[in-house]
Every structure is written in C-alpha cells, then in structure tokens.
Amino acid sequence: MALMLVAAFGSSIGGIATPVGTPPNLIGIGILGRTAGIHISFFGWMLLGVPLAALLFAYLVLYFRTVSLRGGRLKIGGPTIAAGELRELGRLSRAQLNVLFAFGITISLWLTPGILAVAGAGDSAFAQAFNASVPESVAAILGALLLFVLPVDWQERRFTLRWEEAVRIDWGIILLFGGGLSLGGLAFSTGLAEAVGHGILALVPARSPLAFTMIFTALAILTTEVASNTASAIMIVPIAIAVAEAAGVRPLEPAVGATLGASMAFMMPISTPPNAIAYSSGYVPITSMIRHGLALDAFAFVAIVTLVTLLAPFLAG
C-alpha cells in the first residue's frame, strides 16, 4: 500500500517542478499573464517549483518510511532485476535519440533566458533579442517541428513523428487549456471577476498577501480533492487574482498558491488519475488514502504558503 501511494502521490508532486509538468501550471501562468500582466518564465517557475517538489518528495518518503515501512525489507534483488530489464531494452534507437535531441533543444531554449539572467547578461542586447524571438511558445513549437524533420531512415523517408501518429495525440487537452484561458479572460472582460472579487473581499477580514495566499491555497487544495486539478485551477486562479486586485494587493502570490494547491490531490481516488490507478490496484483501501492524503495535504499547504511567500519576488520577469 505504501509503495502504491508513494508512486501516486509522487506523480502529482513531480508535476509542479516545471511549467509543463501538469495542466494547472500552464493555466495559472497563462491566466496571470493575460489578466494581470505578470509573466513567469520557464526558469522563473522552476526557482519555486523545484525546491517545493524536492521538499514535498522528501516529506513523502520520510512520512511513509516512518508510518508504514518501519522494519520492512524487500526480499527481491531490485537492482539486479532493473539491470536485467535495462539490458533487454538494448541500445537507444535512432528514433529515441531524435526525441531526446528535440527534448534537449526545447529545454535549453526554455532555460536560456534564466541562465542569461543568472550570469548577469539578462539585460544585454542578445538576451533581449532572444526573448523577443524565442519565447516559450516558439521554443515548444520548434521542438515539435524537429520531430517531423529528424529522420529515422532517410532512404525510406521515415521521420521521427509522422502525421498519422500526430493526429492521434489527445488534442482535447489542448482545447481544454485554451478554454480555461478563455474563461479566465472573459471573467475579467465581462466584469464577473471584479464582482466576485469584491463580494468575497467583503467576507474576508484580512487584506495582506499572506492571508490571501493562505486562503486560496487552502481553497484550491480542498477543491481539487473533488474535482480535477485542471478544473480547480480554472475556477480558483481567476478568483484569486480578482480578490487580490480588489484589495489592492499584488495577485502573484495568491494566484501561484492557488495554482500549486490545485495539484495537491492526495485524499480521494477521483482527485487525479494517479490516485485512481493506485486505488484500482486493490492494495489501497480508501480510508488509508484519505488518512495519508490528509497528512500530505496539511504539510503541502504549509510548504506552499511558506515558499511562495519567500520566493515570489524572484518568479516574475
């Protein structure tokens, strides 16, 4: 049971490390950029996402090691089995190398602006030209296009990705992202977000960024336990921005807290697909998932609020 839950919970935790790790990250970053004019770069998000993921993963391992795996011993030769499986896979194929190359190029383009900033060249002419010519979206498209032109067998004109394979991609999830961004934009352009923001503000006595971060992080965590993480981000992030703006508070911290909270789905099998897969194994009673998920939710709330408060000044660029 512990290993099943570690695998399920670890899948959700790992997704928060990068903008492309899970849908809420892209939705939160997109809504912040469109409605609040706050741009978070790929590298900027990782300044928060990677430490937070590492902290949550460390807690996850220590928690289950303490409560469920004390005295446990594996009687199988794990490293030996893994080495044998690796040998059976054989060497990387040409197609696999092509995918690895395209992936490396894309990640390098995403990280270049942050690396230049760390090196003190963030305001140079080259950095400004690069940012204008190769934003994150262009880098992603270039990486995808490489898959269509990198050959697997040039004589047979076979390339890494064929259109027959590309049409089988789950394009519905792309439409879901776009729909979420559109709904967020419409909430602001129609005045709905402002009305909701003022309505909620009248019920909230506090007016500080910390208080709003705590409120919307907790609200996102609670919502994502009964709805998908994508739907939770679509619902909560625009409201967090609207309430913060109505109070005259910078919306970055509450929106990022809500975005991260939307990925903290640990208590219910319906919360996220990894939970459903672990539950369907038959090794995880629902009462155990709720109990252990609640402990992780509580720690995640504290970790998100703390790190967002400390690192938010470094996110936006």
Residue 147 maps to a domain: no
Q: What is the CA radius of gyration of the chain?
A: 22
Cα–Cα dist 114/50, whole Å: 14
pLDDT, greater one: 202 or 28: 28
Q: Roughly how many angstroms between the first and final C-alpha of the chain, as a whole number? A: 43
Beta carbons of 240 and 216 less than 8 angstroms apart:
yes
Cα–Cα dist 21/12, whole Å: 9
Residue 267 maps to a domain: yes
Residue 87 maps to a domain: no
Residue 216 maps to a domain: yes
Pull the structure tokens for residue 153.
């067998």
- Closest by alpha carbon to 4, among 95, 90, 68, 51? 68
Residue 91 maps to a domain: no
DSSP β-ladder status, 158-159 and 151-153: antiparallel
Give the pLDDT confidence score for residue 69 in this predicted structure.
72
pLDDT in tens, 85-127: 888 888 889 999 999 999 999 999 988 888 887 788 878 888 8
pTM: 0.80
Residue 98 maps to a domain: no
Does position 75 have pLDDT exceeding 70, yes or no? no
pLDDT in tens, 38-47: 888 888 899 9
Give the pLDDT band (50/70/90) at residue 74.
low
Dihedrals phi, psi of 159, to nearest 5 degrees: -115, 170
Number of folded domains that form the chain: 1
Residue 264 maps to a domain: yes
The residue segments making up the domain with residue 219 are 2-65+170-314
**What sign does the dihedral 298-69-17-267 (CA atoms) show?**
negative
- Closest by alpha carbon to 308, among 256, 234, 261? 256
Residue 10 maps to a domain: yes
Distance set, CA 311 to CA 46, 52, 250, 254, 279 (Å): 11, 10, 14, 13, 35
